[in-house]
């Protein structure tokens, strides 16, 4: 589970509200960028930011702050507040923001959400569902609708949304604990089709553990971090429910489903159940799966010939992307190769797979032109320099 430390902005200042009431705004930190850097130093990979001025105005107000953090930290930044048009979505993404949150727009302009997902991809769009007494609120929580929060989630899933942030407004900023009952209702209704992030009321480690045990994708922490009732590094450690373990033949069905979902090149011989069984028999210690709450989230099939390692498949299920799982799988496989005395590795990759190959290039691979999968030999594979494994 991902821990999202939060920074809300009013007038360029870091603030927190109580139950969304702007009159309760309290300054909680001096400088947004320095605060973000402290979160990063504690181990955070993401940061959740809300333009409270923008939420009220209906258009972005504090854009420069989010751009500054995106450019001057390694944090992945998600931003909400006042995002009402596709042009605004694009403008934020062009600034290096990792994903944007659509709240009021989801309620009032569902076509905008569908268009945003289609144009920018589901991994770039999050829908914020903020509820009072289970009914969705909008316009900076100043208006309450007659739409139930689960009904909105179901409608947004039909629009292509895969990640939601659910906030019980009565809990927000109160340090009174998360609303596990409503979160469980949402998980039971749509959790098999989307990622759910809890927001509002986080107080102590008990809330982190409760959200983790519900199998949620993430939890947003704000006032608890500023008031010291929750330690960010400890929360991140406790939230890590991902297990990386050696792959076995029992994982075949889940792995094959992920390969198909990711559009991987497959052949009936090598990638059959029998083919994978032979592969794992030859190299039992270098292939791994990442599992969370018993569900296989990613897989890496890696082996060696005694001289050189080779990565045959590495895929993360779409619902689990942008969580660092791919890098953890690769690092685990490379460490296993090194433990067996293998200090050079190769990758089965195709230049035409531009989206996936961006990941490999960031990992240190240099990709060749398109290769014929069926005729591929080790001498044709892309290699990693031995120094990469040190």
Measured distance CA(277)–CA(279) in Å, rounded: 5
Report the DSSP pairing between strands 242-246 and 13-18: unpaired
Task: Say which residue the tokens 């230049």 belong to.
Answer: 351
Consecutive 10-residue runs of the chain (390 residues): their mean pLDDT? 94 86 85 95 94 90 95 93 94 94 87 94 91 80 78 93 90 85 92 88 94 90 94 92 91 90 72 92 96 88 89 81 77 89 74 55 58 44 44
List all residues 6 or more positions away from 89 whose beta carbon is below 8 Å from its beta carbon.
83, 100, 102, 116, 119, 120, 124, 125
Domain ranges of the chain: 2-239, 242-389
- With 0-12 CB in 10 A as exposed, 13-18 as middle and 19+ as buried, what is 294? exposed
Token output for 276: 């994978």
Report the DSSP pairing between strands 309-316 and 345-347: parallel
Query: What is the model's pLDDT at position 320?
Result: 76
Query: What is the model's pLDDT at position 316?
Result: 85
List all residues 6 or more positions away from 336 whose beta carbon is below 8 Å from its beta carbon.
285, 286, 288, 302
How many other C-beta atoms can be found within 10 angstroms of the C-beta atom of residue 314?
Answer: 26
Query: What is the model's pLDDT at position 386?
Result: 42
Q: Which one of 8, 168, 207, 251 is the catalytic residue?
A: 8
Token output for 126: 């999050």
Active site residue 87: no
Token output for 132: 């009072």
List all residues 6 or more positions away from 108 whose beta carbon is below 8 Å from its beta carbon.
138
Task: Give the CB-side neighbour count of residue 271, counting CA atoms within 13 A.
Answer: 19
Concatenate the DSSP letters of all residues of 277-314 into one string: HHHHHH-TTS-EEEEETTEEEEEEEEEE-SS-EEEEEE
Q: Angle 55-230-176 (CA atoms, 0-180°, nearest 5)?
A: 65
Query: What is the model's pLDDT at position 372?
Result: 46
The domain defined by 242-389 carries CATH number 3.40.50.2300 = no
Output the CATH code of domain 2-239.
3.20.20.70
Measured distance CA(176)–CA(304) in Å, rounded: 53
Give the single-character DSSP code of 168.
E
Q: Which one of 130, 168, 207, 271 is the catalytic residue?
A: 130
Handedness of CA 206, 18, 323, 194 (dihedral sign): positive
| Domains 2-239 and 242-389 equal at CATH topology level | no
Contact call for residues 153 and 164 (beta carbons, < 8 A)? yes
Measured distance CA(186)–CA(298) in Å, rounded: 24
Give the single-character DSSP code of 195.
E
Active site residue 130: yes
């Amino acid at each position: 589970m991902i821990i999202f430390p939060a920074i809300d902005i009013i007038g360029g200042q870091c603030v927190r509200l109580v139950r969304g009431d702007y009159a309760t705004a309290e300054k909680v930190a001096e400088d947004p960028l320095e605060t973000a850097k402290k979160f990063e130093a504690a181990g955070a990979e993401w940061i959740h930011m809300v333009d409270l001025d923008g939420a009220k105005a209906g258009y972005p107000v504090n854009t420069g702050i989010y751009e500054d953090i995106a450019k001057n930290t390694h944090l992945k930044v998600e931003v909400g507040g006042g995002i009402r048009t596709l042009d605004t979505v694009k403008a934020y993404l062009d600034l290096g923001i990792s994903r944007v949150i659509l709240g009021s727009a989801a309620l009032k302009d569902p076509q905008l959400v569908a268009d945003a997902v289609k144009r920018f991809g589901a991994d770039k769009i999050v829908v914020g569902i903020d509820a009072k007494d289970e009914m969705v609120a909008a316009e900076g929580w100043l208006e309450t609708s007659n739409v139930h929060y689960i009904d909105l989630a179901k409608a947004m899933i039909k629009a292509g949304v895969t990640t939601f942030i659910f906030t019980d407004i009565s809990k927000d900023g109160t340090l009174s604990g998360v609303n596990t009952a409503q979160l469980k209702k949402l998980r039971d209704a749509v959790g098999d089709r989307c990622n759910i992030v809890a927001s509002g009321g986080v107080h102590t480690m008990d809330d982190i553990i409760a959200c983790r045990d519900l199998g949620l994708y993430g939890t947003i922490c704000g006032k608890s971090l500023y008031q010291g009732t929750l330690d960010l590094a400890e929360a991140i450690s406790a939230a890590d429910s991902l297990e990386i373990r050696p792959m076995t033949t029992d994982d075949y069905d889940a792995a094959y489903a992920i390969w198909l979902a990711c559009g991987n090149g497959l052949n009936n011989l090598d990638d059959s159940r029998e083919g994978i069984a032979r592969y794992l028999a030859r190299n039992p210690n270098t292939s791994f799966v990442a599992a969370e709450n018993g569900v296989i989230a990613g897989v890496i099939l890696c082996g060696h010939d005694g001289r050189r390692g080779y990565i045959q498949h590495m895929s993360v299920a779409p619902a689990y992307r942008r969580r660092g799982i791919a890098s953890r799988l690769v690092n685990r496989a490379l460490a296993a190769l090194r433990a067996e005395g293998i200090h050079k590795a190769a990758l089965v990759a195709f230049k035409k797979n531009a989206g996936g190959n961006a990941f490999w290039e960031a990992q240190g691979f240099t990709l060749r032109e398109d290769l014929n999968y069926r005729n591929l030999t080790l001498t044709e594979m892309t290699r990693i320099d031995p120094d990469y494994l040190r």
